[in-house]
Amino acid sequence: MMSDDAYLSLRGIDAGYGQTRVLEGIDLSIGKGEFVALLGASGCGKTTLLRTIAGFALPSAGHIQVGQKDVTYLPPDKRGMAMVFQSYALWPHMTAARNIGYGLRLKGWRREAIAARVGEMESLLGLQGLGGRKPSELSGGQRQRVALGRALAVDPDILLLDEPLSNLDARIRLTVRHEIRALQQRLGITTIHVTHDREEAMVMADRIVILDKGRIAQLGTPEAIYTRPASAFVAAFMGAENVVPLDATCSGNRVDIAAGPLNRAASLTLDHPAPPTGKLEARFRSERLQLRRLDIQPSDNDAAIELIGRIEAVVYPGGEWRHTVRIGDGSVLVDGPEALPPGTDVLVRVPTAGLFLFATSASTPTNGSPSATDERSPVRDRLTA
């Protein structure tokens, strides 16, 4: 996670509030001009980490360096950073133009220079003609642009974004996040963006830092984290919420899965080292799953695992039929070209490319046996015997 040519470096950062430790042992390097997203659920420490970088919270251990300068204990206004808050924190009695120029007035800029700089920001952010309006007279997207303009007006070395899109409606949010990313790339400004929205992090960031309980669970490109999650936690957070327990014998890249109450036997070859032999936690996303009746001819399962389930419900959202399939005590959604009626025994095929296998942890859900309320099925009995 560390790099000798990093522009922003965090080494061994611990931080918290009172006796509560929120961050522990954070090591992170961010390159100049890089866009990094801090991603995680509420309470994971992402906002505390951003506030510690900004100087609004001081670490109890560790160091923060920008370039060759140690900024660990410098006040926020001496770090060369600017922050856009979730609430935007605009002065309600000031016009948009005065809000944008607020930081420049604090720096003692002359009135003419402030006006020129504010004009540049209005042009850059598409706010021409709106400078005389107060925040209450602006839309959510326009207020967000004013807050961004105020941060950029002081020409910061590092831009910090604390969930600045969370107050926008879904349609505007999609537009503004692409605008911010395009602007960041054009300006080449180092940016750190806090979000709990997985898709937002994926489309905006060069790299994503996933935080879990104050520690970095994984750091990598959006593609790497999505396709090669380092742990069951990361896999679940990135959408692989379906989980099934399996028994397997593993060697090298080879995984031989024994038949069980929820699955048929299978032999898989992975493109990475297999987990240890024993009980595994199989995680996968609902996308790309295939569905067929249990009583038709077997398919080649060398490149997939096949899970035994039963249709609970079927709806038609458009395009294909969406089935809710119960597998043990859990259920998955599977789309298919034909509607299979509730009560139908089925096989859910999970391609190897969409399968994530991890050694079972103590916290793994135990949905490994069929529910006691399952009705007996001759086909199910034959395949699970």
Do 169 and 295 have their domain in common? no
Do 133 and 20 have their domain in common? yes
Residues 6+ apart with CB under 8 A from 159: 81, 82, 83, 84, 151, 152, 184, 189, 190, 191, 192
| CATH number for position 145 | 3.40.50.300
Tell me the mean pLDDT in the region 5-17.
92
Nearest residue to 222 (alpha-carbon basis) of 243, 190, 200, 192: 200
Please say if the pLDDT value at position 217 is more than 70.
yes
Indicate the residue among 230, 251, 279 that finishes a domain. 230
Please say if the pLDDT value at position 1 is more than 70.
no
| CATH number for position 338 | 2.40.50.140
> How many structural domains compose the chain?
2
Kindly report the pTM of this predicted structure. Answer: 0.84
Do 57 and 185 have their domain in common? yes
Indicate the residue among 230, 254, 284 that finishes a domain. 230
The per-residue pLDDT for range 60-112, each reduced to its tens digit, is 999 999 998 999 999 998 999 999 888 888 899 999 999 999 989 988 999 99
Do 216 and 245 have their domain in common? no
Mean pLDDT of the chain: 87
Q: How far apart are CA 75 and CA 92, in angstroms?
A: 26
Please say if the pLDDT value at position 193 is more than 90.
yes
Residue 340 falls inside a structural domain? yes
| CA geometry: angle 255, 256, 262, nearest 5 deg | 110
171-180, 183-192, 223-232, 306-315: which range is least confident on average? 171-180
Residue 37 falls inside a structural domain? yes
Please report the pLDDT score of residue 287 as a whole number.
83
Burial of 372 (0-12, 13-18, 19+ CB in 10 A): exposed
Count CB-CB contacts under 10 A for residue 136: 9
Please report the pLDDT score of residue 382 as a whole number.
39
Do 194 and 296 have their domain in common? no
The per-residue pLDDT for range 243-278, each reduced to its tens digit, is 889 999 999 999 999 998 889 999 999 988 899 999
Range of the domain at 308: 240-384
Do 176 and 274 have their domain in common? no
Do 181 and 244 have their domain in common? no
Tell me the mean pLDDT in the region 6-31.
93
Do 224 and 339 have their domain in common? no
Residue 2 falls inside a structural domain? no
Residue 161 falls inside a structural domain? yes
Residue 172 falls inside a structural domain? yes
Indicate the residue among 182, 207, 230 that finishes a domain. 230
Do 281 and 350 have their domain in common? yes
Residue 1 falls inside a structural domain? no
Do 75 and 155 have their domain in common? yes
Q: Using the 8-state DSSP alphabet, how is residue 78 labeled?
A: G
Tell me the mean pLDDT in the region 35-55.
94
Residue 357 falls inside a structural domain? yes
Do 245 and 220 have their domain in common? no
Burial of 181 (0-12, 13-18, 19+ CB in 10 A): middle
Do 132 and 191 have their domain in common? yes
Residue 3 falls inside a structural domain? no
Q: Does residue 360 contact residue 279 with C-beta atoms inside 8 Å?
A: yes
Nearest residue to 193 (alpha-carbon basis) of 53, 305, 329: 53
Nearest residue to 352 (alpha-carbon basis) of 320, 305, 312: 305
